[in-house]
Chains A and B, each alone.
Chain A
Amino acid sequence: MKEGSKISRREFMMMAGLACTAVLSASSLGSVLKPSIAEAAEKPDVEHINDVLKNMFGSRKIEMAHVKLKTPIIAENGAVVPVTVISDLPMEKDNYVKKIYIFVDENYHPFTASAELSPANGKATLALRIKMRKTSNVRAVVETSTGKLYSAIKAVKVTIGGCGG
């Protein structure tokens, strides 16, 4: 009787352990595999960030100044990443920030959004929530009405599993 109960207890523990690992591996596999399957089914044409920038701005010089990019360091959910672009450039009638661009380097299509501003905005700031496929640099480019380009880059880590690791 004693022996029997011991075995059943051990068996139970083992079974419980197995079930636990099975569930864990299934769930982690599922979350890892899901996006890759979806991607394999629909192979989008991948654009490289350098080509995109070249197409948009040609060989114009982009200076790393006057732009501040606010992003989380770690984004737990790549589908919703808050991004804020702030520029200290003036918003006067003949000298203002004409356009703000947001890019995500590792997305299939790095160009995410752009905003054409006017002096009526008073402040060259734009906040938006964007999607990120995976850990990547986020890039903001600001174009002034005088034709100058400024930029800022920030790395954002995306943890798909949601475990924060």
Chain B
Amino acid sequence: MPKGIGKIKIRVPRKIKKGAVIPVKALITHPMETGFRKDKKTKKRIPAYYINDVNVYYGNDLITHMEWTIAVSANPFMTFYLKADKAAPLKIVWKDIKGGEYEKTIQINPQ
């Protein structure tokens, strides 16, 4: 089990041409408990605890919204694409069912 929940890494290409479609890879540490698993020692069910909502903002616009369920792997890793047509911050916000909110912003500077 990962200790630090909500550690985030976001990767984009180092050099971005203006208007290019670039891959954005993002990783967050989160246990993504299904609610089906049992604790081996206490024999008690581990309650469900997972990220169910992901939002991606580019500048002021919400460009992608994702809905996740328990069937997304622990420490979710995703890749999506972005048309880099302006210099603006890219913000990704993850929300879990216990009200946890994790976010990270990187700057997109196309040349």
Contact = CB atoms under 8 A, between A and B. Distances in A.
A132 B80 CA distance: 21
Nearest to A101: B67
Contact of B80 (A38, A109, A111, A126): A126
12 contacts: A80-B73, A84-B79, A112-B71, A113-B68, A117-B63, A120-B82, A122-B83, A123-B81, A128-B72, A128-B76, A129-B72, A130-B71
Nearest to A110: B71
Shortest beta-carbon contacts, A-B, top 6: A122-B83, A122-B21, A127-B79, A123-B81, A129-B73, A120-B63
A121 B63 contact: yes
Report whether over half of chain B's contact residues are helix, strand or loop; otherwise say mixed.
Answer: strand
A146 to B, nearest CB: 19
B68 A125 contact: no
Measured as residues with beta carbon below 8 angstroms from the partner, the interface class of chain A is 20 to 34
A131 B61 contact: no
Interface stretch (A9-17, A39-47, A60-68, A155-163): A39-47
Contacts of A79: 73-74
A107 interface: yes
Interface of A: 38-39, 41-42, 44, 79-81, 84, 91, 104, 107, 109, 111-123, 125-132
B9 interface: no
Report whether over half of chain A's contact residues are helix, strand or loop; otherwise say mixed.
Answer: mixed
A37 to B, nearest CB: 8
B37 interface: yes
A116 B67 CA distance: 8
B35 interface: yes
A115 B76 CA distance: 14
Interface in B29-44: 34-38
